[in-house]
Amino acid sequence: MANQEVPVRGARLVYERSGKGPDLIWSHGLTMNLASDAVLALLDWSQIPVSVVRYDARGHGESESTPDTKGYSWSELALDQLALADALGIDTYVSAGASMGCGTALHAAVLGRERVRALVLALPPTGWEARAAQAATWELIAKMIEDQGVEALVTSRAELEPPDPYKGDTQRRDQQASAVRAWDAGRLALVMRGATEANLPERAELAQIGVPALILAWTGDPIHPASTAEELAALIPDAELHVASTASDMDDWTAHTNTFLRRVL
């Protein structure tokens, strides 16, 4: 199905809808979009019997940018997701996402308790006390992009060690570089600066989440530390955690998600 668009809280969001079954809304990570998220997919949704809505978050891909950086905080992106569900006539749904999308899903569960049936949380990012240091890094990267363009981010990322499951995977590194090069520098700097406004919900709020959660993490990535995933698993009353350290472990994520969704839905 071709991508469609809908006005949501002052921004035009582009989305696609596929599959049949209970509704699931998937939110991608920072600097990703519908196109790059499909190429670098963590899960094979064709193997999972749900109706999947995937969309370009505010400021990403073909969706509209808005100037206020607070609009890119995870709590605001969660309000976008809930409003998108309203616009599409979706009452209750599974909120799922990776990295920034994981933060979005957690806030959606807190802000729209009666709407979210379950959570699929991939690659939980830094949070709480550790978030300040990450926010400072995003601000530096935003300034670098403004001064030197998107290629500077490609170069700096090439110097980083990949997470453990992707060590030696040069194809994925090239795909990530291509995804960054597709960005307009001004838009990319805006969403990176917007990420400085983001944090996970308070721990006490997470402890009140009353729906089941599947948490998928990997090792060897300081931006998505396994320690965040482990703490989330301890805080959310009904949480299931799987940590991948190899490519083989990653191959099991779709099966874990399938089993989880069949159980909770």
What percentage of residues in the chain have a pLDDT greater than 70? 99
Taking residues 32-47, report their average pLDDT: 93
What percentage of residues in the chain have a pLDDT greater than 90? 95
For the chain, list the domains and their CATH numbers. Answer: 4-264 (3.40.50.1820)
pLDDT at 263 over 90: yes
Pairing mode, strands 51-55 and 93-98: unpaired
- How far is residue 245 CA from its own chain's centroid? 20
**Which tokens sit at 37?**
């998220």
pLDDT at 50 over 80: yes
Which helix (H) or strand (E) is 84 found in, with range?
Answer: helix 74-87
pLDDT at 33 over 60: yes
- The reported pLDDT for the residue numbered 45 is 87
**Which tokens sit at 251?**
């191959």
pLDDT at 1 over 60: no
Number of H helices, E strands in the chain: 11, 8
pLDDT greater at residue 105 or residue 45 = 105
**Which tokens sit at 243?**
């940590």
The model's pTM is 0.97
Pairing mode, strands 116-122 and 213-218: parallel
To the nearest 10°, the Cα dihedral for 120, 215, 248, 51? -10
Which helix (H) or strand (E) is 97 found in, with range?
Answer: strand 93-98
Q: Name the nearest CA neighbour of 12 among 55, 73, 51, 52.
A: 55
Q: Sorting pLDDT into bands at 50, 70 and 90, what band is 113?
A: confident
Q: Kindly report, residue by residue over 168-194, the tens digit of the pLDDT.
A: 999 999 999 999 999 999 999 999 999
pLDDT at 231 over 90: yes
Q: Sorting pLDDT into bands at 50, 70 and 90, what band is 40?
A: very high
- The reported pLDDT for the residue numbered 212 is 98
Q: How many CA atoms lie less than 13 Å away from 147 in the CB half-sphere? A: 6
C-alpha span between 143 and 121 (Å, rounded):
30
Q: Kindly report, residue by residue over 135-154, the tens digit of the pLDDT.
A: 999 999 999 999 999 999 99
Q: Name the nearest CA neighbour of 189 among 13, 75, 65, 36.
A: 65
